[in-house]
Chain A
Amino acid sequence: MTIPVQRGRHNRRKKRTVRRRLPMRYLLPSLLLVALLAMLMLRGYVHSEILADHRIQAPAPTTQVPADVLDGGPVIDARKAGEPAKTLRIPDHKIVLTFDDGPDPVWTPRVLDELKKHDAHGVFFVTGTMASRYPGLVKRMVDEGHEIGLHTFNHPDLSFQSTSRIDWELSQNQLVLAGAAGIRTSLFRPPYSSFSDAMDNKSWPVTQYIGSRGYLTVVNNTDSEDWKRPGVRAILERATPKGGKGAIILMHDSGGDRSQTVAALGRFLPQMQEEGYEFTHLTAALGAPSAHTPVTGFALWKGKAFVFAVDISERITGVLVVGLAVIGALVLVRFGLMLLLSFLHARKVRRKDFSWGEPFTRPVTVLVPAYNERECIEATVRSLVASDYPIEVIVIDDGSTDGTADLVDAMWIPNVRVVRQQNAGKPAALNNGIANARYDIVVMMDGDTVFEPSTVRELVQPFADPRVGAVAGNAKVGNRDSLIGAWQHIEYVMGFNLDRRMYDLLGCMPTIPGAVGAFRREALDRIGGMSEDTLAEDTDVTMGLHRDGWRVVYAEDARAWTEAPESVQQLWSQRYRWSYGTMQAIWKHRRAVIERGPSGRFGRVGLPFVSLFMVVAPLLAPLIDVFLLYGLVFGPTGKTVAAWFGVLMVQAVCAAYAFRLDRERMTHLISLPLQQILYRQLMYVVLLQSWITALTGGRLRWQKLRRTGVVEAPGGTPNRRKDAEKDRRPVA
C-alpha cells in the first residue's frame, strides 16, 4: 500500500490534473438530477402538492360588509378606490352558467359539447393548476366563445392568505391563461364563495383587495350544488331561477365525477331556452365589453414557456413513474431470485455427498501480478507458502519501480519464481505468467491479497469436473472497520453469497474476481488468453470462457483477503473501471446473442440477464431516491418513509442471509441504512458516468489516456497505474 506521506503529496498533484476532468464527471449527473428534480417540483406545483392550503374559514360576522353588497347582485365591482363597492345583477331572462375548478380532461369536453349543442355560452372559472395541465381545453373554451375567469392558481381560501400570496395566486393564474389561450381576464371568483349575502368580515377585505387590483368579483345567485352529486333532478331544481329572473348559476366541471352535471345541462339548456332564457357569458349579459384582453410580447412567451414546461414535466413524470414501477419490480424479482437460487446453491454444494469428482490433487501454478506492491507482496507470498496444497508461485513484476521483485527474490523461497517484464499492464503480465506456468491449472490473485492456507485447495477442487473451465473464489474485505470499508464489506458478502451463487446456478457468472480465481490453462489457450480489449479483462475472459462452452463455478470456501479502497476517490475510479469495463465486455461479446451452440446459449440467456441487472437496473435505481425526496417533501411523507423502510427491510433480510451463509458477524449490517442513503448514490453516479463515457465515444479517449499512463508510469505517477492494476472484481 502507499505510504501516507506519499499519498498526501500524490493527492495534491492529482487534484491539479483531475480538476479539469472533474467538472464533467460531476456536472452531467448532477445536472441530470437537478433537471429531474426541477421537473418533479413543477409537477408537485401544478398538482397542488406544493403550497397547498386546504383550510376553510369558519363563518364570521358581517359587520364590515356594506349592506348594499349583502343585498346586492352577484357581481361585485370594487375597482374604484374611495368609492363604495357597487353590485350588478343579471337582467331578466338571461342566465350565466359558471363552471368552477376546471378544466378537467374528462368532464370539461363533455360540458363544452353540451353547451355547443345548444348554442349556449358560459363562464369557466379555471384554476391555474388545472389550466396549466390542460391548456388545450382553455384554448377551446375561448375559441368557442366562452368567457374565462380566474379561480386562483391553487384554490386556497384567500381569507387566510397574505396580500402577496393573493397577488401571486392571481398572477400565476393569468400567466397560465396567457400561455394557454393568449389572453388575460378581468373576472374573478374566490374559492369557496357562494352568494353575495354570504360575504363576511373575513372574505370582504379580500374582495375589496381584489377589486383594487382591477377585477370584478363574480359570485352566484343559484348554486346547483352539483358537486354533492344529488341527482339530475335536484341539480335542476336548485339551479333554476324563480320567475324569469336573470341568474348566475354555479356548477362544476371538475373535481370528480361530473356526469350528473353534464346530464343536467342536457335537460336544463333546452328546457330554459324554451322558457325564453338566453344562455350567455357574463359581459354579454351585462352589456359590457369583453373581459378578455389579448396578451402579447414577453408576457405571452412567458406564459407559453410555463405551459410548455408543465407539459414536459407531466410527460417526464409519467415516464418516471413507469420507470419506478419497472425498477421496483426488477429489484424485488432480483432479490427473490437471489434468495431462492443462493439457497439452492448452498444446499447443493454443502450436501455431505457433494463432490466435483475425484479429489483434485495435482499441483497448480499461482500467478501474482505485481506493480509497486512492496508493502504487501511479502505478506502475499508468505500466505501462499503457508498453503496446504502443492503449488508453484510466479510473481510477475510489471516493471515496478519500488523494488517489489527484489523483495521477493530476497525471500529465497523455493517454488517462488519472479518474472520481470517491462511495464505493460495487468493482462500482459498475466499472459506472461501463463506462458511461464508449469502446470495446467493457474490460480490468479492480486499482489495485495492474502490467501488462507486452504484457499488454493478449495479453489481448484471444481476442476475435478472436466467441464469446469474457471472457478471464482470468495474475496473478503479486510479493512472493514471504517464506514466505507463496512459498506464494501456488505456489498462483497452479498455479491459473493447471493449474486455469485445465483449466477453459478444460472450458468452465467459474469466475472472471475481478479483477487481470487482459477483457470484451466487449456481453456485460456483456446480463447487466446487475457485480452486488453476492455478495462475489465476478468469479465472479458469469463464471458469468453462461457462462449467457448466451459462451466464457470463458484467455490465458497476459497477465501482471499483484500483491502478495499479507503477513499471516495479511489473507490470512484475503481468502480468506474468496473462498470465501464463491464459495458465494454458486454459490447465485445454482443455477437453471442445470434450465435449457435454454447455461445448462443450464453448470449441469449446470460448476457441479457447480466446486462439487465448490472447495467440497466442500476441506471434506473436513482429513481427510487428521486421519488423518495419528492415523497418526503411533497407527497405523503409517512407512506414514503414506510415504503423506504420496507425496501430497506428486504435488503436487510437478503444481507443477513448472505452474512449467515458466509458465517460473518452481523454487526456490520448496522451500517446498511447509511449505505442506502450515501453509498448507493455514489455507485450509480459512477455508473451514470460510465454510460456517459460510453455514449459519447469515450472509449477511444480512454485508451489514449491509458497509454499515457503506461508511458508515464516508470517515472511519474505510479498510483494511477496502480489503481488500474487493482482491477479486482469481487462483486458481480
Chain B
Amino acid sequence: MTYPNQPRHDGHDGTRPPQGGTRPPHDGTWMPESGALPGRGSAYPEQDGTYAGRTGAPPAQDGPSLVREDAAAGRGGPYPAYAGTLPGQTRTAPDTAAGTAAGTTAPPAAPEAPVPPARPGRDRYLDLLRAVALVRVVFFHLFGWAWLTVLFPSMGVMFALAGSLMARSLARPAGGVIRGRLRRLLPPMWAFSLLVVPVMFALSWKPVREEGLWWFVKIGCYLFPIGSPPYPEESGSTGGWLELTWADQAVGPLWYIRAYLWFVLASPLLLRAFRRLPWVTLLAPIGLTAVIGTGLVTVDGMLGDGLVDFAVFGSCWILGFAHNDGLLKEIPRYLAVSSAAIVMGFGLWWASGHLTEEGWNLDEIPLAQATWSLGFCAILLIYAPSWQKLPGKLAGWDGLITLANNRAVTIYLWHNLLLMAAAQLVDELWTIPWFGDAFGSYIEKSYDALVLIAIWPLIGLAILAFGWVEDTAAKRRPRLWPNGADRRGKRA
C-alpha cells in the first residue's frame, strides 16, 4: 500500500480508466440523421445525439453509472485506502439499512439488481440548459435587462452544447457530418428568409449602388449565411404595422446562424487541434478575443463581426469538445471549478472596467462575454448530472422542454419578429372600445408583462406554422407539436 506522500498521480483512483480511450464506439444508430429514430425529437441541428450515457459517464459501469457518475467521480481521490474499497462500495447490497447483513460473516457482494442497459435517451440536463437558454434569450430581447446576460450567458451555453454534439458526431467522416448539419440548419432559415426578404423589398429596399455586385453576393447570405445578411437600416414606418427598425430586429439574431455555420465548418480542424493540444486550443479563442475584441486590433466589416463572434464563443464550442471527450472529468474537480471561477472573476472585472451605455450587457463587451461564458459553461458541464429523466418538480416541464429543444431553431429565428407582433397585439388593446379607455393606464404600466404573455401563444403558432420544416430538413416525418407526448405514451 502506498501512502499518499505523492498525493495524486493522475486524478484516477484506479477503478475508473481514463475515459478518452475506452468509451464505447459510436454506433451509427444513435444518429438521428440515419432516420433510425423516428419520432425521437432531435430537430435542432446539434441535438442529434444528446444522449445520456454519452456525456462522460464512466464506461465500466453500464446502467447505474448514469445516475452514479457523480458519486464515483467525487470519490476518485489520491487516497490509497479507497482504491481497494471503491469497487466493493458500488457493488455491495443496497439493503444493509434493513439489517439483513447483520450477523452474517463477510457476506459476499449481493447480486446486483438487474439493471437494464442504458437506454439511449436524451440527456435531459442538456435539454434543460438549452430550453433555459432559449427562454432567457426571449426575455432579454423583450425586457432588455442587461444583467440577464450575466445571470445566464445563453449564447455561450448554446455553443457549448452544440460543440459537444459536434465532437461526438465527428467520430464519423467529417464531410457527411457537415453536410448533415447544413441540411438541417438551412431549410428553416430559408423559410424565414422567404417571408422576411420579400417584405423588405416590398417596403422599397434598394440595392446599394456603391457596392455593386458585392451587394447581391451579400444577399446570398440569406441562402448560405457565411456572413450576416444585410438588411435596410430603416424599413416600414413609424406607427405602422412594421416599425422602422423591424428589419434590424428581425434579422439581427441571424448572427447566431452565421457563427454556428462557421463553427461547424471549422470543427474538423478545431477538433484535431484540440485533441493534439487541448488546453492551448481551448484558450486560444480567448486570446484571439483579447486581441480583436478589445480594440487592440480591429477588423472591419462583415469579416470582422464574424471573427469576433467566432473568437468570443470559440472557447465555449471547444469546451463542448472537452466535455464530450471527458477531459473535464479528468482534471480534479476542485481545480476545474476554481479555475473556472477565476476566469469568470476576470470576466466580471473586465466588464466592470468596460461598461457600455447598456451597463452590464456582456454582449457588448467581447472579452468579458468570452471569459464569463467559458467559466459559466465549464461549471455547468463539470457538474453535468446526465439525467435520463428530469428529476422532481422539473418533470412537470418535460413536455415544454422537449418541445423547445425540438423547435429550437424555429423559436430562435422567429422570436424577435414575434415579439414585435406581440407588441402590436397589445397595442390593439387600446383600440377596443371602452376597454382601451378604462384600462389605458394599466395597459401602459403592464405593457412588457402583456407582451410577455402574448409572446408564448405566438411562438406556439410559429411552431405550428413553420416548425415542420425542421423535421423535413432532417428527413423525418413532419410533426406539428413534438413535445414528446407520443413517445411517453408509447413507453407507458
Q: A interface vs B, CB < 8 Å?
A: 1-7, 9-10, 372, 374-376, 378-380, 382-383, 386, 400-403, 406-407, 409-410, 450, 452-453, 476, 478-483, 485-487, 559, 561, 563, 566, 637, 664-665, 667-668, 670-671, 673-674, 714-719
Contact = CB atoms under 8 A, between A and B. Distances in A.
A118 B76 CA distance: 85
B177 interface: no
B337 A3 contact: no
Given A479-B77, A668-B334, 4 more contacts: A378-B85, A406-B103, A482-B332, A561-B81
Contact of A670 (B92, B99, B342, B352): B342
A376 B81 contact: yes
Contact of B75 (A379, A479, A714): A479
14 contacts: A379-B81, A401-B102, A403-B105, A403-B106, A450-B79, A476-B4, A478-B77, A480-B77, A481-B74, A481-B332, A487-B334, A668-B334, A671-B337, A716-B97
B210 to A, nearest CB: 40
B156 to A, nearest CB: 20
Contact of A407 (B82, B96, B106, B352): B106
A485 B333 CA distance: 10
A380, A386, A403 pick with most chain B CB within 10 angstroms: A403
A671 B342 CA distance: 9
Interface string B327-340: 00000111101110
Contacts of B452: none
Contact of A561 (B72, B79, B88): B79
B76 A481 contact: yes
A386 B1 contact: yes
A6 B92 CA distance: 10
Interface string B102-141: 1111110000000000000000000000000000000000
B96 A6 contact: yes
A420 B429 CA distance: 81
Given A410-B105, A480-B7, A375 B345 contact: no
B97 A561 contact: no
Contact of B85 (A1, A9, A372): A1
A566 B74 contact: yes
Contacts of A487: 334
Contact of B101 (A379, A402, A716): A402
A379 B85 contact: yes
Given A3-B92, A480-B7, A450 B102 contact: no
Nearest to A7: B71
A403 B104 contact: yes
B84 interface: yes
A378 B89 CA distance: 13
A375 B104 contact: no
A566 B74 CA distance: 8
A9 B102 contact: no
Contacts of B333: 481-483
Contacts of A402: 96, 101-102
A3 B89 contact: yes
B11 interface: yes
Given A561-B79, A715-B99, A482 B74 contact: yes
Contact of A671 (B82, B92, B338): B338
A645 to B, nearest CB: 10
A4 B7 contact: no
A478 B85 contact: no
A383 B106 contact: no
A594 B150 CA distance: 58
A545 B403 CA distance: 68
A559 B81 CA distance: 14
B106 A406 contact: yes
Interface of B: 1, 3-4, 7-8, 11, 68, 71-72, 74-82, 84-85, 88-90, 92-97, 99, 101-107, 332-335, 337-339, 341-342, 345, 352
B81 A665 contact: no
A402, A485, A667 pick with most chain B CB within 10 angstroms: A402
A2 B95 CA distance: 11
B337 A483 contact: yes
B338 A375 contact: no
A483 B84 contact: no
Given A3-B96, A5-B94, A376-B81, A481 B104 contact: no
Contacts of A668: 334
B78 A481 contact: yes
A350 to B, nearest CB: 17
Contact of B3 (A2, A452, A671, A716): A452
Given A402-B102, A566-B74, A718 B337 contact: no
B89 A478 contact: no
A479 B82 contact: yes
A674 B344 CA distance: 12
A403 B102 contact: yes
A482 B338 CA distance: 11
Contacts of A482: 74, 332-334
B121 to A, nearest CB: 20
A4 B334 contact: no
B444 to A, nearest CB: 13
B101 A403 contact: yes
A145 B105 CA distance: 95
A73 B85 CA distance: 92
A482 B99 CA distance: 31
Nearest to B102: A401
Closest 3 A-B residue pairs measured CB to CB? A478-B79, A486-B334, A5-B94
Given A4-B68, A402-B102, A379 B335 contact: no
A406 B99 contact: no
B81 A6 contact: no
B334, B337, B342, B352 pick with most chain A CB within 10 angstroms: B334
A143 B81 CA distance: 80
B71, B95, B104, B345 pick with most chain A CB within 10 angstroms: B71
Given A403-B106, A478-B4, A480-B334, A674 B341 contact: yes
B84 A485 contact: no
A561 B82 CA distance: 11
Given A3-B89, A673-B345, A563 B82 contact: yes
Contacts of B107: 403
B334 A485 contact: yes
A10, A386, A670, A673 pick with most chain B CB within 10 angstroms: A670
Contacts of A386: 1
Nearest to A399: B102
B88 to A, nearest CB: 6
Contacts of B341: 673-674
Contacts of B97: 6, 9-10, 716-719
Contacts of A400: 102
Contacts of A673: 338, 341-342, 345
Nearest to A478: B79
Contacts of A380: 81
Contacts of A714: 99
Nearest to A567: B74
Contacts of A665: 7
Contacts of A372: 96
A483 B70 CA distance: 13
Contacts of A670: 334-335, 338-339, 342
A399 to B, nearest CB: 10
A9 B332 contact: no
A481 B334 CA distance: 6
Contacts of B92: 3, 375
Nearest to B105: A406
B338 A483 contact: yes
Contacts of B106: 403, 406-407, 410
Contacts of A401: 96, 99, 101-102
A410 B8 CA distance: 32
Contacts of B77: 478-481, 485
A400 B103 CA distance: 9
A487 B77 CA distance: 14
Contacts of A637: 352
A7 B323 CA distance: 27
